[in-house]
């Protein structure tokens, strides 16, 4: 969402929500600190929009960000800590990297009032992270290649011989894979994945690229791709649509306060800003699943009546095993 559009959006919502509910004492403490440093693995444009919106609300806080991918950010946080450098206040990572940093003691416990509105199963019990949104996995199909009567409705439908050689997937959909095995059960899940791997899947790196391949008619189906990418392309005229196959795994995007934050109150204020109704609406407008369950009623139309399944962070403990199984069963070369 362009910055100017976000600015208009915030202005429209400001009178009814947000600042009126924020503790004035927290605002004063954050004002005295005067600075915020945000580390994130989210989309660069999205991070920039969020920071600019925060600066407009709190112009007395100098807010900056550093953005890179999950693995690089995980490494940076660890490396800086080993060198005794604690520069960031709030970090935004996906489920598994967030799980490891929480386990290793990098996060401070913070339970903002907004947690009362979060979707069930999306927040951790310890209060070490607060999810701001989720990326929902969906089956994306080309509407010119897939007839309405043949659209898969379950994961098992993907095993139909008609889809052999007509499916594409990301080379690293490990979190989706792990959660499906967890929900299906090891025996049933492995049997399903082995049969899915026999469908001669075309693997390409990146969910956006895979969604583009479906839109271009290179393949009929895209498995375990992101709903918000499909929504964006469909709105731009691409001949694609989607189905959420249950369990529709939602990869979490939690934010956490640093255990050694140089500006802890500014960090808390920023987390509350990210969980505010207007910013949750911002995520929903982009097709992402807002963490709050009391905003964005229109998101139900995108979900097609399916409640996404929150990724289980504890599965990170077996990630190396899941990576090996993913490549083995799905025949990723």
301/240 Cα distance (integer angstroms): 16
Q: What is the pLDDT of residue 17?
A: 41
Q: Let me know whether 257 and 286 are in one domain.
A: yes
Residue 7 has pLDDT above 60, yes or no: no
Q: What is the pLDDT of residue 310?
A: 98
Q: What is the pLDDT of residue 12?
A: 44
Q: Which of 31-45, 192-206, 287-301, 315-329 has the lowest mean pLDDT?
A: 287-301
Q: Let me know whether 8 and 91 are in one domain.
A: yes
Q: What is the pLDDT of residue 298?
A: 83
Residue 9 has pLDDT above 70, yes or no: no
Q: Let me know whether 63 and 103 are in one domain.
A: yes
**How does DSSP assign 204-222, residue by residue?**
ES-HHHHHHHHHTTS-SEE
Residues 6+ apart with CB under 8 A from 122: 131, 134, 250, 252, 291, 310
Q: What is the pLDDT of residue 281?
A: 95
**Positive or negative, the Cα torsion across 150, 151, 154, 158?**
positive
Residue 13 has pLDDT above 70, yes or no: no
pLDDT per position as a tens digit, 304-317: 999 999 999 999 99
Please give the residue range of the domain that contains residue 313. Answer: 135-249+305-329
Q: What is the pLDDT of residue 136?
A: 98
Q: Let me know whether 37 and 104 are in one domain.
A: yes
Q: Let me know whether 116 and 264 are in one domain.
A: yes
Q: 218 falls in which pLDDT band (50, 70, 90)?
A: very high
According to DSSP, the β-strands at 130-142 and 221-226 are antiparallel
Q: What is the mean pLDDT of residues 271-284?
A: 96
Nearest to 240 by CA among 107, 98, 136, 145: 145
Average pLDDT value for the chain = 94
Q: Which of 18-27, 70-79, 106-115, 235-244 has the lowest mean pLDDT?
A: 18-27
Q: Let me know whether 200 and 55 are in one domain.
A: no
Q: Let me know whether 312 and 199 are in one domain.
A: yes
pTM of the model as a whole: 0.90
Q: What is the pLDDT of residue 22?
A: 85
- Quick one: tokens of 293? 């369950």
Reported for 155-158, long-range contacts at CB under 8 A and 24+ positions apart, including other chains, are 155/180, 155/192, 155/196, 155/245, 156/192, 158/196, 158/199, 158/221, 158/223
pLDDT per position as a tens digit, 55-104: 999 999 999 999 999 999 999 999 999 999 999 999 999 999 999 999 99
134 contacts 288 by C-beta, under 8 angstroms:
yes
Strand residues in 109-217 grouped as ranges (E): 130-142, 167-170, 202-204
Q: 5 falls in which pLDDT band (50, 70, 90)?
A: very low
172/158 Cα distance (integer angstroms): 19
Q: Let me know whether 157 and 202 are in one domain.
A: yes
241: domain CATH number is: 3.40.190.10
Q: Let me know whether 126 and 139 are in one domain.
A: no
Q: 4 falls in which pLDDT band (50, 70, 90)?
A: very low
Residue 280 has pLDDT above 50, yes or no: yes
Q: Let me know whether 12 and 111 are in one domain.
A: yes
Q: Let me know whether 8 and 147 are in one domain.
A: no
pLDDT per position as a tens digit, 155-204: 999 999 999 999 999 999 999 999 999 999 999 999 999 999 999 999 99
Q: Let me know whether 215 and 314 are in one domain.
A: yes
Structurally, the chain folds into a number of domains equal to 2
Q: 1 falls in which pLDDT band (50, 70, 90)?
A: very low
Nearest to 256 by CA among 75, 104, 58: 104
pLDDT per position as a tens digit, 38-57: 999 999 999 999 999 999 99
């Amino acid at each position: 969402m362009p910055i100017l559009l976000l600015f208009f959006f915030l202005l429209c919502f400001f009178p009814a929500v947000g600042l009126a509910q924020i503790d004035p004492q927290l605002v004063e403490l954050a004002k005295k600190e005067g600075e915020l440093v945000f580390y994130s693995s989210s989309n660069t444009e999205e991070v920039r929009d969020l920071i600019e919106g925060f600066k407009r609300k709190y112009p007395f806080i100098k807010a900056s960000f550093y953005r890179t991918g999950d693995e690089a950010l995980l490494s940076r946080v660890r490396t800086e800590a080993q060198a005794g450098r604690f520069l960031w206040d709030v970090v935004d990572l996906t489920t598994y990297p967030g799980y490891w940093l929480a386990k290793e003691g990098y996060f401070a416990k913070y339970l903002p009032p907004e947690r009362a509105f979060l979707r069930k199963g999306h927040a951790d019990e310890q209060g070490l992270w607060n999810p701001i949104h989720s990326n929902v996995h969906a089956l994306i199909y080309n509407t010119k290649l897939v007839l309405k009567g043949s659209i898969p409705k379950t994961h098992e439908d993907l095993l139909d011989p008609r889809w052999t050689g007509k499916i594409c997937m990301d080379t690293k959909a490990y979190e989706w894979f792990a959660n499906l095995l967890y929900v299906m059960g090891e025996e049933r899940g492995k049997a399903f994945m082995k049969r899915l791997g026999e469908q001669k899947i075309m693997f390409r790196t990146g969910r956006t690229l895979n969604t583009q391949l479906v839109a271009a008619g290179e393949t009929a189906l895209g498995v375990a791709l992101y709903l918000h990418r499909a929504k964006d392309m469909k709105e731009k005229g691409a001949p694609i649509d989607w189905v959420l196959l249950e369990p529709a795994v939602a990869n979490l995007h939690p934010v956490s306060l640093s255990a050694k934050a140089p500006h802890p109150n500014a960090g808390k204020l920023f987390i509350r800003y990210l969980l505010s109704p207007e910013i949750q609406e911002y995520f929903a407008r982009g097709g992402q699943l807002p963490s709050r369950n009391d905003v964005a009623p229109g998101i139900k139309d995108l979900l097609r009546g399916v409640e996404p399944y929150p990724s289980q962070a504890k599965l990170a403990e077996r990630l190396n095993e899941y990576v090996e199984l993913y490549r083995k069963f799905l025949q990723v070369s």
